Structure 1
Amino acid sequence: MKLRVFDFVMLAISLGITALSAIPVVSTSPWNGQPSVEIKTTHGTYVYPLNQNRDLYEPGPAGVTWLRIHGGKVYAVNSPGPRKIMMRMGKISRDGEWLASVPNHVFVLITGGKPSTLDAHAF
């Protein structure tokens, strides 16, 4: 089978699409390296700066999850889960830390800023 011009054009387009799709994976916080809060829900993904105080209400299948960004930290004020695990996870502020409400399909992740330190169990 002989390669034709169209084959090379399709290869170039495929490589271009692959390269462009990698940009969100390798990019950092949209606020010039400042830490940000990434919230993933069934309705989409939202990114907010960690240094701006605000209350967020994220609807989901189990109800509304109330999140608060305050003083460089984010935490769940109220969560509709039966055990309130997301609220018990406490406040997060370092890169890689996360909160999750499984019944309500809400996931919160800190990106950018200082990386989190190792805990006692990570040896």
Structure 2
Amino acid sequence: MTSVKQHQKNLSMVMFMVHAVMMTAVMNAETTAVVAVDAETNEIINTKPGGFPVRVRWADFLVLLIALCCAYASIVQLAGQGKPALVSIKTPTENLLYPLDEDRTIIVHGKQGDTIVVIAHGSAQVTESACRDKLCVLAGALSKPGQWTACLPNGVYVQITGKADNQEIDALVK
């Protein structure tokens, strides 16, 4: 949910920048401008009614192009949001998938006994397990795609799957 809000905030900032660039151009022109081409240099010029030419520079087009690209990228990324994350639970006998946005308690049977996985408030957590060390319980709540925990003695693997908000590389090993 926070990623959608962040994208909306980014889109608002981009739209503000586009608006600021356009308002600056209008304020510089003061009134409706006439666009013409300089016969000697073949450059596009913007002529104010007073006759004072204001040259449209390539940097003006570059700023507008960058602002439009940012707006387009934000819209494309927002369109890809909407796919809910899933909780994948793998046991020695079955593979289970549950939506992360629906609260529930799941009891799965492992090699040594039962493991309880609780899905609540957009996160999944192993709350009880039949293993000795309880490292899977100590892992805490999982809420982002790519996060996982495993109870190796019990043979239970829990992972959040779905579209990752942040697809940065965590580490590179050679």
Deviation at 1:80, TM superposition (A): 1.0
Residue in 2 that maps onto 1:66: 116
Distance 1:52 1:44 in 2: 21
Q: Aligned pairs, how many? A: 91
Which runs of 5 or more residues in structure 1 are unaligned?
A: 1-31
Structure with the bigger RCO (C-alpha within 8 Å, sep 6+) is 1
Which runs of 5 or more residues in structure 2 are unaligned?
A: 1-81
RMSD over aligned CA atoms reads 2.0
Deviation at 1:116, TM superposition (A): 5.5
Residue in 2 that maps onto 1:89: 139
Alpha-carbon contact 1:94-1:116 (below 8 Å) kept: no
Residue identity opposite 1:100 in structure 2: A
Q: Alignment identity in percent? A: 31
Distance 2:140 2:105 in 1: 16
- Give 3-state SS (helix, strand or coil) of 1:86's partner: helix
Runs of 4+ more than 6 Å apart: none
Q: 1 or 2, which has the higher strand percentage?
A: 1
Residue identity opposite 1:98 in structure 2: W
Distance 2:116 2:141 in 1: 13
**Among 72, 75, 92, which residue is 1:42 paired with?**
92
Name the TM-score, length of structure 2 as normaliser: 0.48
Deviation at 1:62, TM superposition (A): 0.7
Could you say which structure has the larger radius of gyration?
Answer: 2
Alpha-carbon contact 1:100-1:107 (below 8 Å) kept: yes
Name the TM-score, length of structure 1 as normaliser: 0.67
Alpha-carbon contact 1:96-1:116 (below 8 Å) kept: no
The correspondence of residues 105-116 of structure 1 with structure 2, limited to 5 A, is 105-115=155-165
- Give 3-state SS (helix, strand or coil) of 1:91's partner: coil
